Chains A and B, each alone.
Chain A
Amino acid sequence: MKAVKAVEAVRAAKAIRTPGGLSVRVDPRAVLAVLLLLAVALGVAVVLVGSGDFPMAPGEVVATLLGDGTAAQEFIVHDVRLPRVLVALLVGAALAVGGALFQSIARNPLGSPDVLGFAQGSSVGALTVIVLFGGGSFATAGGAMAGGLATGAAVYLLAWKRGVHGYRLVLVGIGIAAMLAGAIHYLVTKADLVDATRAVLWMTGSLDGRDWSHFWPLLAVTAVLIPLSLAYGRPLRMLEMGDDAAYALGIRVERTRAVLTGSAVLLTAVATAAAGPIVFVALSAPQLARRLTRSPGPNVAASAVMGAALLVVADWVATSAFGDRRLPVGVVTGVLGGVYLLWLLVTERKAGRI
């Protein structure tokens, strides 16, 4: 069944041949999906920049961005809201690409960083800083980064046994995640109530107070790693067919897997350091993207724009849908993502696909 679909998808793809003999395969549906999602992400981003205590129409926002705003508008857009929205876009894209890579490598739709203990690792790092050292937001981000990377490395090394098998990777990740969850709960009980609230806020994932200093490191990492992941899209697609088939097709399996695992871990780490472990984007964005493009393989580009769109939409809902109470974005991604996946399970079941 899956193979038939894959063949259909390949047939649907068109090849563009240039006079010079170059040929590029283009899947029109995937291209359309990417463009559409990009439009949604940017559109909602503009709306998001315009909403808040100082509301601005989308037209005004665009004008301000182009340099035609009043001084007040310039200040609000450039110093307050734009960095936050840009961080949201990049965090969404980074999480989604990280998730897409993880899911392809583990060959399991559950193989997202959330399940592999990554979020827990970052949380332990951040909570250690918040609870034991009383550190500020930058120290927290650093702690999260260190915790996440250490966890990623530990999971990979522990799952290593003449190569990393996807199933073992997931199981080791679950083991590590459960251990770290114990540490998290312990740290939360040790904290006083103010720190505990900060810790829960951080663990939920929030974009409040993010400024340019959060944006630049995020941009630097994603600007390198997302193109790298895109370039590895083909080997990754081969890898999804199983190690033996991939070897036979000339893929350096372990190297590909090491590079992509590393880049997935780094992407997730910087995203988590910037905004906390926002759940479900990494899990749901690649699945949504795959369903929109209907093409097999990791769909890295579509996942990236899907993640960005998801996160800005979620942030918009979180900040505007509950009246005066501005919830952190992680609450919305959690509830929306969970409900979406439940709906997906129902419809897929009716269609008899899974």
Chain B
Amino acid sequence: MLVDSPPEQSADRTAAASAPEPVRRHALRAAGLLLAVGVLALVCVASIAIGAKPVPVSDVWHGLFQNSGTGSDVVIRDLRVPRTVLGLLVGVALGLSGAVMQALTRNPLAEPGLLGVNAGASAAVVTAISFFGVTSISGYVWFALLGAGVVSVVVYLLGGSRGATPVRLALAGTAATAALFGYVNAVQLLDSAALNRLRFWTVGSLASADPATIGKVAPFLAAGVVLALLIVRPLNAMEMGDDTARALGAHINRTRVLAMAAVTLLCGAATAACGPIVFIGLMVPHLVRAVTGPDMRWILPYAAVLAPVLLLGSDVVGRMVARPSELQVGVVTAFIGGPVFIHLVRRKRMAQL
């Protein structure tokens, strides 16, 4: 080294000093985030109250904190709360993983489904069901995580790790998805018991949530969230391109590895718990970016709050439209997300990452 690197934070300080206006913008963004949290709380209450057996909002409080064993208390404790908690966790996971993946690949199309993570989880789960006789959802978790992890690493390496371009990464993901779904379909057709189980998992549903499943996936999700939040700054730098990022002092390879680990943990655990739920990871970061701009320090919290709003809201809608039966949340997110996404695509030039 001929020249000493400048102290790490100096760049930040000069940026803050030379621009007084961002303070107001930050205040606005913080207020928006608070508002989003409020909306999330409302959606959680709705998710507990609404369903095949409606519970008045006053009883929701009662059921949560004073278990008296009445019918609605049992419904709340055994069915609605686990379901809401799982929806919350999965929503956070999908939102964060989508945002991290789009930043990492600098690809607005990056989505766990597109990059083969869902297919990896599906292939592992169908293997578990058909060849290892695993029948409980909490048993799928390990397989789904393993499948998601292996496939995401393979796709990332094939996509060209260091010099991955968006098109190459997407091609690698598409290839892996196609190959794995060929395998999944073959197993399903040869083993109709596996098909029977898998079809209820593939649709993406929160209906089978229970505390055991939540306990299994929560540690992975927590680890993933922490990892994702730790790499915010280098991700910000990397959005400007590898050279600039390196010049700004980001450890590019370390960041990439950590980001992939975070995405794998988040997506793998979420997919294991409730099946592949498309669209949230793709859509929420796009919506958020329209509000916050390209700063990952704001995108991640917003995505973490708004993704569960969307997921739980969809789940509630699914319970309302097809009473007393219900529409799985994966179906509802697809049908809410699709038009919103197309509107975004049409309204303006997609944000180029």
Q: Cβ of B199 and Cβ of A338 under 8 Å apart? A: no
Q: Mark B43-62, 1 if CB is under 8 A from A, else 0.
A: 00000000000000000000
> What is the interface size of chain A, counting residues whose CB is below 8 A from a CB of the partner?
55
24 inter-chain pairs at a CB distance below 8 angstroms, sorted by A residue, are: A109-B167, A159-B345, A171-B109, A172-B345, A175-B337, A178-B278, A179-B339, A182-B203, A182-B330, A182-B333, A182-B335, A189-B200, A197-B192, A204-B189, A279-B178, A279-B182, A327-B190, A334-B185, A337-B178, A339-B179, A342-B172, A345-B158, A345-B168, A345-B175
Select one of A167, A189, A204, A339 contacting B328, CB under 8 A: A189
Query: A179-B334, A185-B202, A354-B168 are contacts. A334–B342 as well, Cβ < 8 Å?
Result: no
Does A283 have its Cβ within 8 Å of any Cβ on chain B? Answer: yes
CB distance from A324 to the nearest CB of B (A): 11
Smallest beta-carbon distance B105→chain A, Å: 14
Which residues of A lie under 8 Å from residue B282 when comparing CB positions? 178
Add 7 more A-B contacts to A109-B171, A349-B168 (CB < 8 A): A171-B341, A179-B335, A182-B204, A335-B183, A337-B179, A337-B182, A338-B182
The yes or no answer to B170 lying at the interface (CB within 8 A) is yes
Chain B residue contacts of A179, Cβ below 8 A: 334-335, 337-339
Q: A170 CA to B174 CA in the complex, in Å?
A: 14
Q: Is the CB of A328 within 8 A of B189?
A: yes
* Residues A108 and B334 in contact, CB atoms below 8 Å apart: no
User: What string of 1s and 0s marks CB contacts (under 8 Å) between A313-354 and chain B?
Assistant: 000000000000101101111110111111001100100001
Q: Is A176 an interface residue (CB 8 A)?
A: yes
Chain A neighbourhood of B341, CB < 8 A: 171, 175, 178
Size class of the contact patch on chain B: 35 or more
- Inter-chain contacts of A176 with B (CB < 8 A): 338, 342
- Cα-based distance from A197 to B330 in the complex (angstroms): 21
Chain B residue numbers with a CB within 8 Å of A185 are 199, 202-204, 328, 330-331
Q: B334's contact among A181, A328, A335, by CB below 8 Å, is which?
A: A181
Asked if A71 lies at the interface with its beta carbon under 8 angstroms from chain B, I say no
Report whether A203 and B185 are in contact in the complex, using a CB–CB cutoff of 8 Å.
yes
> Given the complex, which residues of A lie within 8 Å of B298, measured CB to CB?
none
6 closest pairs, A vs B, by CB? A338-B179, A334-B182, A182-B334, A179-B338, A341-B175, A185-B203
Q: Distance in Å from the Cβ of A208 to the closest Cβ of chain B?
A: 11
From B175, B182, B278, B350, contact of A332 by CB (8 A)? B182
Nearest-Cβ distance from residue A36 to partner chain B, whole angstroms: 25
User: Is A223 among interface residues, defined by CB-CB distance under 8 A?
Assistant: no
A342 and B174 form a contact (CB under 8 A):
no
Instruction: Give the residue of A110, A170, A334 whose beta carbon is less than 8 angstroms from that of B171.
Output: A110
Q: Which chain A residues lie closer than 8 Å to B220 at the CB level?
A: none
Choice from B174, B199, B204 contacting A341 with Cβ under 8 Å: B174
**CB-defined contacts of B339 to chain A, threshold 8 Å:** 179
B327 within 8 A of A: yes
* 150-200 of chain B: CB within 8 A of chain A: 158-160, 165, 167-168, 170-172, 174-183, 185-186, 188-190, 192, 195-196, 199-200
Residues of B312-353 contacting chain A, CB below 8 A: 327-328, 330-335, 337-339, 341-342, 345-346, 350
Q: Are B327 and A186 in contact (CB under 8 A)?
A: yes
Asked whether B279 is an interface residue with its Cβ less than 8 Å from the other chain, the reply is yes
A345 and B172 form a contact (CB under 8 A): yes
Q: Collect the chain A residues with CB atoms within 8 Å of residue B196's CB.
A: 193, 196
Taking a contact as CB atoms closer than 8 A, the residue among B172, B181, B188, B203 that contacts A334 in the complex is B181
Question: Nearest chain-A residue to B185 (Cβ)?
Answer: A204
Would you call A188 and B345 a contact (CB within 8 A)? no
CA distance A330 to B202 in the complex (A): 19
Report the bound CA distance from A175 to B339 in whole Å. Answer: 8
B165, B171, B183, B345: the one contacting A175 at CB < 8 Å is B345
Residue A57 at the chain B interface, CB threshold 8 Å: no
A225, B99: Cα distance in complex, Å: 43
Chain A CB count within 10 A is highest, among B175, B188, B204, for B175
Would you call A331 and B203 a contact (CB within 8 A)? no
| CA gap between A170 and B168 in the complex, in Å | 16
Provide the bound-state CA to CA distance between A308 and B199, in Å: 32
